[in-house]
Amino acid sequence: MKIKYFIGAFLMAILGAAIALFAYTKIDKGNQVMLVKDSSGVDVSDARAWLTSWAVQQQPGQVDFTYAAEQTVHGVVHVMTKSTVGYSASNPIMEFFYGPRYGQQPRERTVQGYGSGVISSADGYIITNNHVIDEAQEVEVKLNDNRVMTAEIIGRDPNTDLALLKVDATNLPFVRYGDSDALKLGEWVLAVGNPFNLTSTVTAGIVSAKGRNLEILEGDYRIESFIQTDAALNMGNSGGALVNTKGLLVGITSAIYSPNGAYAGNSFAIPVSIVKKVIDDLKEFGEVQRAFIGVTINEVSSEKARELKLNDMKGVLIVTVNEGGAAESAGLKPDDVILKVGDADVTTVTELQEHVGRYRPGDRITVTYVRNGKQNTASLVLKNISGTTAVVTRDTSPALVFGARLEALGASDRKNFNIDYGVKVTEVGEGRLSDLGIRKGVIILSVNGQRVKNADDVREATSDERNLTSIEGIQTNGTFFSYSLRN
């Protein structure tokens, strides 16, 4: 058996060498390497390296990562951030004479952070995680050739934990997009990033699972469909590249799942199917064009499957249909079970959210669903959060009020503060709330005496931002605040 295996491996090696020699003779004639294309249609500038790697990987049990690493490592950057945060310092003398209120003196300090980023185009666009640059006032990137450049934040999307940066440069090495849908469980992948401020680190692992929902992102419109791998990730890897053995980007590394905060065998990446759509939107509009079916959904339980006389528990259950939404216009009803979006099967809520998240408002999709035991199809025109198909920009975003971005509370905030209403400040720009000292992370409970649950409630309570007389809420340290104002 060993002799048979040896002979097979030897013959495969000879075949690989012959192919590589043939390619060298035909392609590298005169030391001028021509561009060739691999099976994915991607140009490969070094034919010999690719063919040698291919020949090695044809041998049983052999995997070579050198080609993928060489194609990727120069397209991953080190992201460095600076921000100024406020805090209170205790002054016991002032507190003794004037009371606790005057014993707290405001102070500021500079906080530095770091992470990774992936160059997505030769003209300097860089993908990273939103949490890497969150609250940053200065962002710099260090390239693999040690050049340091100032980066501009083009846009950010907390709902997917993605952000887009831009540096003033040309002819940069970049990582090409791959296909995360084609990933298979057990397939080898590489993670490239900058853990612990160490540059250009490559680790390898396999795809352990797809479509993981960890409930770590905030916001009612979050999309979580992580690729799980066992490639080692640590602090600083966030925003780096997850690539396949061809060196193509299949995900943006984002999180680890660990009891102690260090790598413990599970790491997670945002699939490139989501990344590409979000980044294209941020580049073109500065804001994600988020599309909605106009329903609330849930998994199909065994009880619901029996009640609806379903043959199995596949699909996603429609719980309610929003008035005026895309689903209502297409005739979908509660208790319909969605099986497909286009040609893609959906078996979980996460999968449905991921597939719909690839479209923009105004796009038309076909949904396959089950009603009364019969399979049907419906054509839907997706809409934005305002119920229209109009393009949303940063200036026209419905979540922007008094210069601040307001979002409905996530499950974690409702649980932590034991509240069922309020809006969270996720970004503060120039405007009335900034003038009042409202910071990111503050939860606004009521405005002008009216409880609020979303940005529209705040806008309505203030007569479209014309009247602000009072505001109450919870500060980032958990304490309650209340302001009475004069217009």
Is the backbone of residue 169 left (phi > 0), alpha (psi -120 to 50) or beta?
A: beta
- The answer to whether 235 touches 162, Cβ cutoff 8 Å, is no
**Phi and psi, residue 48, nearest 5°:** -65, -45
**Catalytic residue selected from 116, 120, 157, 161:** 161
| The Cα angle at residue 244 between residues 239 and 246, in degrees rounded to 5 | 125
Q: DSSP letters of 373-401?
A: TEEEEEEEE-B-TTSS-PPP-TTT-TTEE
In whole angstroms, what is the distance from residue 352 CA to residue 344 CA? 9
- The answer to whether 382 touches 291, Cβ cutoff 8 Å, is yes
In whole angstroms, what is the distance from residue 331 CA to residue 380 CA? 9
Our measurement of the distance from residue 149's CA atom to the centroid of its chain's CA atoms, rounded to an integer in Å, reads 24
In whole angstroms, what is the distance from residue 400 CA to residue 18 CA? 63
Residue 155's closest CA among 386, 405, 362, 443?
A: 405
Helices (H) and strands (E) in the chain, counts: 13, 28
Cα 446 to Cα 434, 438, 460: the distances in Å are 17, 14, 12
**Catalytic residue selected from 53, 116, 131, 157:** 131
**Catalytic residue selected from 53, 238, 267, 446:** 238
Identify the bridge partners of residue 471 per DSSP, sorted by sequence position.
447, 483
Q: Judge whether 74 counts as a catalytic residue.
A: no
In whole angstroms, what is the distance from residue 108 CA to residue 92 CA? 19
Give the helix/strand (H/E) hosting 287. none
Q: Which residues contact 426 (CB under 8 A, 6 or more apart)?
A: 158, 219, 405, 406, 407, 440
In whole angstroms, what is the distance from residue 138 CA to residue 128 CA? 15
Q: Judge whether 131 counts as a catalytic residue.
A: yes
Our measurement of the distance from residue 299's CA atom to the centroid of its chain's CA atoms, rounded to an integer in Å, reads 23
In whole angstroms, what is the distance from residue 100 CA to residue 366 CA? 63
Active site residues: 131, 161, 238
